[in-house]
A and B are shown apart, each in its own frame.
Chain A
């Protein structure tokens, strides 16, 4: 039997044009208004509504993901074991070379901890939402403005810098990951103190830009935040250099990093609620 509904299926160019114009108006308003504009506020409202849904989805999926991970580990455990043994041998061989860097790293960690104790108040939060789109590197946490969270605050994972709060509702906030393509982190090579900018990308990778060939780090170097620009406090671990690729005719080499944070396995994070006093662009409450 043939489906014949031609009358109800005719195109309506006027409707199409009206909806296109409405969309373009939305885009224009979004760009022209400030962060307190109506469209931006709509996003905060939506975040408030969907946060419980994300929490429910996370709670339902967690047992299945844990079970999947358990089976996955069973299936590849022998291969992993061989790989880890090889990696262990390599790391033992490199241990002596890295001893000096390790000590320096330790000193810097103490400095960072000192700075954090002095200037920051940390607030724990639970990850309740993973990225809902391949276009965005964003997670949702269960702390919001009622907890003192504000846009611009840095967010840490146990392994290092995770990202920055960029949208807040009453009881939830969105964190833009450093691996998001719109992220940029003023950073430096821990061993040489050479500064650059770490940028995210659409595939979730990290690159260190604006470091000259002569000053380029080597694979294995640790990259930390430099504190320049005042967005992120100084001394937080951003990631490790995995490759440095010379590019003919280019001013800077392509330096690829890997973040130590595995977002898919992340359950809790720390928000730096107190802001760096000397670098706070928004004039927040330093301690």
Chain B
């Protein structure tokens, strides 16, 4: 139950940060996406099940905050959260570089998948223009934030386990 509340609290904090903080740290019109960062971190730390469930919750919140069809972010983050958890489980078990790499790749995958689903639904913007003006810049921004936030967030989320990997960061 305790871990449930920590997970729920992390998602809620990410949503509040997205609403109150993210618009004010936009660079050249690129707004970071904190719920995506948190969902991926949860997936990497806790595994695919938590990744999928938190992806659904975080994605639904993003859907309700935005103007695109409701359910698209939920769909994307369910799959990306699950895959990120599986990748971390099956390929990388320790070290800091690989989890961060997973977080970065999953972040890019999330933005790109969102664009593709919008295209499929017929509500998407011009594809390549979106890739150059939103997907890639946002991925770069999220990557920088992931490098800064991931070790601290992961350490907080798994504070009940001893980890050599993150001592060098936090």
Given A15-B49, A20-B78, 7 more A-B residue pairs with CB atoms under 8 Å apart are A3-B163, A10-B89, A11-B89, A16-B78, A19-B55, A30-B70, A56-B20
Within 8 A of A (CB), among B139-167: 158, 161-165
> Measured between C-beta atoms, what is the minimum distance from B36 to chain A in Å?
10
Taken residue by residue from 24 to 59, chain B's Cβ proximity to chain A (1 for < 8 Å, 0 otherwise) reads as: 101001110100000000000011110011011001
State whether A130 and B53 are in contact (beta carbons under 8 Å apart), knowing that A8-B46, A182-B67 are contacts in the complex. Answer: no
Determine whether B101 belongs to the interface, using a CB cutoff of 8 Å to chain A.
Answer: no
CB < 8 Å: which of B55, B82, B94, B134 contacts A202?
B134
15 A-B residue contacts at CB 8 Å?
A: A2-B93, A8-B47, A8-B49, A23-B72, A23-B74, A23-B78, A26-B60, A27-B75, A56-B20, A61-B24, A130-B24, A133-B62, A134-B137, A138-B67, A202-B133
Per-position contact with A for B5-34: 1 when CB-CB < 8 Å, else 0?
Answer: 000000000001011111110100111010
Give the Cβ gap from A20 to chain B, nearest Cβ, in Å. 6
Name the A residues within 8 Å of B97 (CB-CB).
none
The proximity string for B residues 66-81 relative to A, scoring 1 for CB distances below 8 Å and 0 otherwise, is 1111111011001100
| Contact between chains at A132 and B65 (CB < 8 Å) | yes
In chain A, residues 56-78, which have Cβ atoms closer than 8 Å to a Cβ of chain B?
A: 56-58, 60-61, 64-65
Contacts of A5 in B (CB 8 A): 47, 161
The answer to whether A266 has its CB under 8 Å from any CB of chain B is no
Q: Which residues of chain A from 8 to 51 have a CB within 8 Å of any chain B CB?
A: 8-12, 15-16, 19-20, 22-31, 39, 42-43, 46, 50
Q: Name the A residues within 8 Å of B60 (CB-CB).
A: 26
Closest beta carbon of chain B to A198's beta carbon, Å: 16
* A9 and B46 contact, CB distance less than 8 A: yes
Among B60, B64, B137, B162: residue with most chain A CB under 10 A: B64
Cβ-Cβ contact count across A and B, 8 Å cutoff: 175
The chain B residues found within 8 Å of chain A, CB to CB, are: 16, 18-24, 26, 29-31, 33, 46-49, 52-53, 55-56, 59-72, 74-75, 78-79, 82, 85-86, 88-89, 93-94, 114, 121, 123, 125-126, 129-130, 133-134, 137-138, 158, 161-165
Residue A116 is within 8 A (CB to CB) of chain B in the complex = no
> What's the minimum C-beta distance from B29 to chain A, rounded to whole angstroms?
6
A134 in contact with B52 given A8-B46, A43-B64, A65-B24 (CB within 8 Å): no
Q: Check if A176 sits within 8 Å of B67, measured CB to CB.
A: yes
> Within 8 Å CB of B33, what residues of A?
133
A167 contact set on B, CB distance < 8 A: 67
Nearest 9 Cβ contacts at the A-B interface: A57-B20, A9-B47, A26-B71, A130-B23, A23-B75, A27-B71, A61-B24, A202-B125, A203-B133
